[in-house]
């Protein structure tokens, strides 16, 4: 059985896809967006209004605020799940970019005798979908200028580049470097050469044309770890293989049994936001 996705009107958070409503709600500045668009306020849907019972959601005397008084707001079906990533194809990467990322993460977390790696976990799809969402554009971050030429290391992120730009420019630079050096793209290199190159990027020993090698390494590395261990709903950690590797039981939300049995191996299978196989077919 397929989950009747539309029959459930719970709105989705814009973390893994292009849906931005919830993100905007959290930002709480919906109508200050430059395009002047005014998305639905806190989950107010037509149905929400029809079914709202005692929850007060009133606009008084022209104030565009949510006013809460007398009762705790509540509406049926009110939930903010993320939209599950549907694997297949890429929304941001070109096919050749995806091939580079796939080869790269396959070296960072390889499949080996301990089990599948980042590639099998769907990490490339994870990164692709993350880049299409607010993360990819640094939408939530402070991105106003001026940008300093020589920030202190302790001042953290000071680049004007968004993750989308980092990937687009960084992969192009890496490919240009590989073509010039090996006469082949990164994905076509032998694993040992890829490893050597990745190590060079990490240390900043390899100079890419017009792009910081450390920036590219850090972006892919951080996202690969995220994609390997984040909930499978985001497209990575397929079949919870990252969690199974370390023995993280996922989102069970109740470990009273574990705390009662110290120093004992945990044996139940992990659970993701979308459940586990024993829940039966969706």
Partner 1 sequence: MARRLPRKDVVIVGLGWTGSILAYELARTGLDVVALERGPWRDTASDFNIGTAPDELRYAVRHDIFLRPKQETLTMRNNPSQTALPIRKWGSFLPGNGVGGAGLHWNGQTWRFLPDDFRIRSHMIERYGQGILPEGNQIQDWPVSYDELEPHYDRFEQVAGISGKAGNIKGKIQPGGNPFEGARERDYPTPPLKQGYAQSLFTKAATEMGLHPFPRPSANISMAYTNPYGCSMAPCTYCGFCEWFGCANYSKSSPQTCVLPALVREPTFEARTDCEVTKINLSGDGKTATGVTYVDASGEEWEQPGDLVLVCAFSLFNVRLLLLSGIGKPYDPASGKGVVGRNYAYQTGSGALGFFNDAKFNPFAAAGSLGVALDDYNSDNFDHGPHGFVGGASITSAHTNGRPIRYHPTPPGTPTWGSAWKKAVKDNYQRVTNVGAQGSVMSYRNNYLDLDPTYKDPLGRPLMRMTFDYQPNEQKMANWMAERCQEIVKAMGASSTKLNRLGVPWSVVPYQTTHNTGGAVMGNDPNTSVLNRYLQSWDVSNVFVMGASAFPQNAGYNPTGTVGALTYWSLEAILKYLKSPGALVSR
Partner 2 sequence: MWLRTLVLLLPLFSAGSVTAGPDNYVDIARGKALVIAGDCAACHTAEGGQPFAGGLALQTPFGAIMTPNITFDTTTGIGSWSADDFARAMQEGRRPGGGHLYPAFPYPYYTKVERSDLDAIYLYLRALPPVENRVNRNTLPFPFNIRLLMKGWNALFFTSGTFKPDPARSAEFNRGAYLVEGLGHCGACHTPFNAFGANQNDKYLEGNQIDNWTAPNITNDPRVGLGKWSVDDIVQYLKTGQNAFSLASGPMKDAIENSTSEMPVADLKAIAVYLKERGAEGPPASTPLAASDPRMQAGEAIYVDTCAACHVRTGTGVAHLFPKLAGNVVTTQEDPASLIRIVIAGGRAAATEGFPTSPAMPSLGYRLSDKQVADVVTYVRNSWGNAAAPVSEETVRTLRAKVTGAAPGE
| Complex with partner 2: residue 51 or 157, whichever CB lies closer | 51
Compute CA distances 76 → 48, 56, 107, whole Å: 7, 13, 47
When CB distances are held under 5 to 8 angstroms depending on the partner's kind, the choice from partner 2, partner 1, none that residue 220 binds is: none
CA dist 244 and 121 (Å) reads 11
148 binds partner 1 (CB under 8 A): yes
Map residues 170-209 to x or -, x wherever contact with partner 2 holds by CB under 8 A. ----------------------------------------
Candidate residues 146, 277, 279, 282; the one interacting with partner 1 per rule CB under 8 A: 146
- Cβ atoms of 92 and 164 within 8 Å: the answer is yes
Strand partners, 275: 272
Q: Residue 243 corresponds to which tokens in the numbers above?
A: 């969690």
Give the binding range for partner 1 (CB under 8 A) out of 92-100, 165-173, 179-187, 258-266.
258-266
| Complex with partner 1: residue 75 or 238, whichever CB lies closer | 75
User: Which parts of 188-227 interact with partner 1 (CB under 8 A)?
Assistant: 195, 198, 202, 221, 225-226
CA dihedral (148, 153, 144, 224) positive or negative = positive
266 binds partner 1 (CB under 8 A): yes
When CB distances are held under 5 to 8 angstroms depending on the partner's kind, the choice from partner 2, partner 1, none that residue 163 binds is: none
Max CA separation in the chain (angstroms): 71
| Complex with partner 2: residue 77 or 96, whichever CB lies closer | 77
Compute CA distances 275 → 2, 88, 189, 252, whole Å: 14, 21, 39, 9
261 binds partner 2 (CB under 8 A): no
| Complex with partner 2: residue 58 or 199, whichever CB lies closer | 58
76 binds partner 2 (CB under 8 A): yes
Q: Which of 123, 128, 130 is nearest to 104 (CA)?
A: 123
Q: Name the CA radius of gyration of the chain, rounded.
A: 23
What residues line the site for partner 2 (CB under 8 A)? 1-4, 6-10, 46-47, 50-54, 58, 71-72, 74, 76-79, 81, 251-254, 271, 273-276, 278-282
């Amino acid at each position: 059985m397929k989950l009747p996705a539309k029959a459930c009107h719970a709105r989705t958070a814009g973390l893994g896809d292009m849906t931005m409503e919830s993100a905007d709600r959290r930002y709480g500045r919906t109508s200050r967006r430059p395009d002047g668009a005014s998305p639905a306020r806190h989950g107010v849907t037509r149905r929400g209004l029809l079914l709202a019972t005692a929850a007060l959601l009133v606009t008084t005397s022209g104030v565009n605020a949510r006013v809460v008084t007398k009762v705790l707001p509540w509406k049926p079906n009110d939930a903010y799940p993320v939209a599950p990533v549907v694997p297949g194809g890429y929304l941001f990467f070109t096919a050749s970019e995806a091939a580079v990322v796939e080869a790269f993460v396959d070296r960072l977390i390889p499949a080996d005798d301990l089990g599948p790696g980042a590639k099998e976990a769907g990490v490339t799809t994870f990164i692709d979908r993350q880049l299409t969402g607010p993360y990819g554009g640094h939408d939530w971050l402070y991105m106003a200028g001026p940008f300093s030429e020589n920030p202190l290391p302790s001042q953290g992120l000071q680049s004007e580049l968004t993750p989308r730009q980092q990937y687009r420019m960084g992969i192009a630079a890496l490919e240009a470097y590989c073509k010039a050096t090996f006469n082949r793209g990164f994905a076509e290199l032998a694993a040992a050469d890829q490893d050597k190159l990745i190590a060079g990027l990490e240390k900043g020993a390899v100079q890419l044309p017009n792009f910081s090698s450390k920036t590219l390494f850090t972006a892919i590395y951080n996202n690969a770890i995220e994609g390997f261990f984040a909930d499978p709903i985001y497209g990575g950690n397929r079949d919870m293989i990252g969690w199974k590797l370390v023995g993280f039981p996922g989102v069970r939300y109740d470990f009273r049994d574990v705390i009662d049995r110290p120093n004992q191996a945990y044996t139940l299978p992990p659970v993701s936001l979308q459940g586990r196989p024993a829940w039966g077919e969706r």
